Structure 1
Amino acid sequence: MRDSIRFIHSADLHIDSLFKTKGHLPQELLEQLRASTFEAFDRLIDACIQHQVDFLIITGDLYNEEIRSLKAQVHLRRGFERLQKNGISVYISYGNHDFVKGSKHPIELPNNVHIFTSEHVSYFPFKKNGIVVAHIYGFSYETREVKERKVASYKRVGEAAYHIGMLHGSVETNTEHDVYAPFSIEELKNQGMDYWALGHIHKREVLSEDPPIIYPGNIQGRSRKEAGEKGCYLVENAQGTWNHTFLPLHSFTYETAIVECGHLNSPDQLEKALEEAKKRVEANYTSTMLTITLRTDHSNLREWKLTGYIDEWVEIVNATEDTGSNEWIWIDDVKIIDRPQWNETELLKGHHFTGELLRSIQSLGKKEMEDWLDPLFTHRKMYKYVQSLTDVEKEDALEEAKRMMVEHFMSGEKRQGS
């Protein structure tokens, strides 16, 4: 019978990340956001000690930039020193954000920390009571991009009870993120690993149970694109059965609430709509950066947005929050959805110009869309207006542009048909 093993699988810490928000934040709230990745890491260390794990795995992107801040490095070192005092080992690989050649002056870490330092897949043996119990395999990014299929280089070595693969990369068919170190799930299963500790994708996901192939997601959301609980997985194998339990680590979450506003006929009713949205997330019992979507089938909301009523009500409602507490709800952004008088699914089927337009837009991959838009975002007169836009804001702008185009062409088609 194999010895039992218990470890924590984490990834994508992005320590010392900057946070972009839609509006002005009180200083105390801004400080909480900036401290959140450090706090989430501290909870990660606490969890390792509390659950008396054998070791901690961090699969890539410990830091947010290749030039690692000294503050972040020292904070991580102190956390790893706490683990060292408790006899807990740490296994680290670097990813596309904190690649090896980007760090000019890394500080020394305690000797319980084992780092994969090259793009060649290698392994570290983990010993328990003097016996090799596991081989932990991995590699680090030497530069920002790894396009090679690294999965083929993972090969079981020796007779250890457990073979664990650390891989910072993505499924080859992924269209939502940059695809680095691509793989298929079938390829992972064929390499003979007992557990795959993945990183790079910030949404936690179990790709397979046998063997476990798992993304833990990042430990702290940094935009509304990274919504919901964030944390790590406590993983254990006892008597030959794998168990994995999600442990939340975040300081706050990003959430979205949708409020139907077709009945609103006066801007003073916006206060109630905003409060209703906040009530939707109160049950989470955690601090929340909230994006509210107001949905309507008339143009009142857009008029109130243009005249400043919505922004003013947001400011008034936010002023009632105690941002010094541990359970605040801050309205970060308000979006408006005018229900289109058209069905996109039906239009996609149509043999007309609008249908062809929508099909063309739908067929564009993320990289192709970025290439098309690059002249706009790099234009010397436009750059100062668009360089600070987040990916989420760019996607929102593209979605709004699509809506405007469709409505423009549909109105033209109707005029021609009349």
Structure 2
Amino acid sequence: MTIRFIHAADLHLGSPFKGFAGLPGKMAQTVRESTFTAFRNLIGHASETRPDFLLIAGDIYDGEDRSLRAQEQFRMGMETLREEGIPVFVSHGNHDHLSGSWVRFSLPDNVRVFGPQVETAELNVRGTTVKIHGFSYPERHVTEPVIGHYPQSESDAVEIGMLHGSIRGNEAHDVYAPFTKDELLGKGYDYWALGHIHKRQVLHAQPPIVYPGSLQGLHRKESGIKGFYEVEIGQGTSSLEFIPAGALVFGTAEINCAGIRHADQWLERCMHQIRAFREADGPGLLDLRLTGIDEGAEAMFSDAPESEWLEFIRECVMRDCPDIGVHRMTWERDTALAVPGGLFRDVLEELGSWDADNWKDCLADLYGHRQAYRFTGRLGEEEIREIAEEAERLITDGLMKGGRAE
């Protein structure tokens, strides 16, 4: 007897996608709609393939104050699955915890939302009993382990654990509901449906312990194809198939500018790399990283402002590959080409030594301002990295221009 289900997580419906100003109108709209498009792709696949049930392991919404549109889109998707007779099991995570303030929509009766304590849902799939254990975050910060509250497997049923959290000691992400792999294996379940980590990964093969990753990348650090897993469990074995769902892929294309002296040469190299990305990964949003900028290329680039180069390549890409957008360009210049500048060098070295606390102290007035905060949002690790990179770029560009002037 085989059961088949879908495991998805981290939908983040309604993500605001800050920092994408300047994109052409159609691409900007694609970015804004991408989480909804990915969700509709998930619902469409489920409707077509009719799994026995669907698991959503946390962070359906992007924030605790859920928008009306995001809730309506989710409700409509659940109604579509109800019409197909597909049960859905939901555990809310740190971004869409139960204490958030929002106007609530009702959900159809095929949806089971786990409460703030670990509980068990049971269903019968063609004569096989399936038990699904899970909980929803009662508030945003669940920093204590919850794994101890999950029951031990004690029957012949297929048992699945849903847990939105991270491995204890993993400092690359905010640590919520921490656990160890051995603690999960010790429960004796047939499958662990995890959420919270946006990168797809299988922590253990048999029985599977799985992060499906986010359904749609939310920024340039979340590169690669995103989607969900289709899972089959039967006769002591299991199999996984990854199903792409994202509306677009975030990526980077490196453009070697060595030897370039004319804009048409540069454009040709750019378009070659962009077409290669499109063929490999499909629709996407790219950062162009310009490398190998020698003296001749630097002289060419200096004849127009960087903003004009970016606008130019965006227009060319829109004509040739309309489903590819260029987010930004970074210029990896050799500072040795410029006249050495002690002040610039000292500032770069100082910035390079700063940690997250130094940046938070520097930006405290801006991010703590009660009016500005509405536009800046939360100052997290990703925001700090982007601010640091942009500061270094501006200083380096000033160094290069200063060198050319002298």
Q: What TM-score range do you get, normalising by the shorter chain? A: 0.7 to 0.9
Q: Which amino acid aligns with 1:76?
A: F
Matched residue type, 2:40:
D
Give deviations 1:175-210, integer Å, cap 9, x for gaps: 321111111222211221211100001111111102
Query: 1:322 deviation in Å?
Result: 4.7
CA drift at 1:240 = 2.4
CA–CA distance in structure 1, aligned partners of residues 321 and 231 of structure 2: 29
| TM-score, length of structure 1 as denominator length | 0.81
| 8 Å Cα contact 2:23-2:326 kept in structure 1 | no
Residue 201 (1) aligns with residue 191 (2):
no
Match of 1:147 in 2: 143
- SS at 1:135 equivalent: strand
1:241 aligns with 2:227: no
Alpha carbons of structure 1 residues 148 and 376: separation in structure 2 relative to 1, 3 Å: same
Tell whether the 8 Å contact from 1:137 to 1:154 is kept in structure 2 after alignment. yes
Match of 1:95 in 2: 93
Contact 2:289-2:331 within 8 A present in 1 as well: yes
Q: Output aligned runs, 1:183-198, within 5 Å.
A: 183-198=179-194
1:331 paired residue number: 326
Q: Does 1:134 align with 2:117?
A: no
Task: Give the letter aligned to residue 248 of structure 1.
Answer: P
Counterpart code for 2:124? K
1:376 aligns with 2:362: yes
Aligned residues: 380
CA contact (8 A) 2:259 2:294 kept: no
Whole-Å separation in 1 of the counterparts to 2:368 and 2:292: 32
For residue 12 of structure 1, what is the amino acid of its counterpart? D
Q: Which of the numbers 43, 46, 61 marks the counterpart of 2:44? A: 46
Query: Which of residues 362, 374, 385 is equivalent to 1:395?
Result: 385
For 1:305 and 1:379, the matched residues in 2 are separated by 36
CA-CA distance at 1:23 after TM superposition: 4.1
**How far apart in 2 are the matches of 1:403 and 1:316?**
20
Shift of 1:400: 7.3
Distance 1:62-1:380 versus aligned 2 partners, 3 A rule: closer
Whichever residue aligns with residue 122 of structure 2, its letter is P
2:163 equivalent to 1:177:
no
Where does residue 85 of structure 1 map in the other structure? 83
Whole-angstrom CA distance in 2 between matches of 1:153 and 1:300:
65
Task: Establish whether residue 125 from structure 1 lines up as the match of residue 122 from structure 2.
Answer: yes
Segments of 5+ residues of structure 2 without an aligned counterpart are 337-345, 396-406
Residue 214 of structure 1 aligns to which amino acid in structure 2? V
CA RMSD of aligned residues (A): 3.2
* Offset of residue 7 of structure 1: 0.3
TM (norm. structure 2) is 0.83
SS of residue matched to 1:164: strand
2:356 is aligned with what amino acid?
Answer: E
Q: How does 1:36-75 map to 2 (within 5 A)?
A: 36-75=34-73
Amino-acid identity (%): 36
Instruction: Provide, for residues 57-97 of structure 1, a one-character-per-residue CA deviation record: whole Å limited to 9, x for no partner.
Output: 00000001101111111111111111111111000000111
- What is the distance in 2 between the residues matched to 1:181 and 1:302? 50
Q: CA deviation at 1:213?
A: 0.6
Could you tell me which residue of structure 1 aligns to residue 404 of structure 2?
none
Between the aligned partners of 2:327 and 2:186, the Cα distance in structure 1 is 45
8 Å contact 2:259–2:297 — kept in the other structure? no
Task: Deviation per CA, 1:126-174: give whole Å up to 9, x if none.
Answer: 2224x56211111111111111111222223552521101110111232
Alpha-carbon deviations, 1:1-45, whole Å to 9, x = none? xx3111000000011111234441233222222222112111111
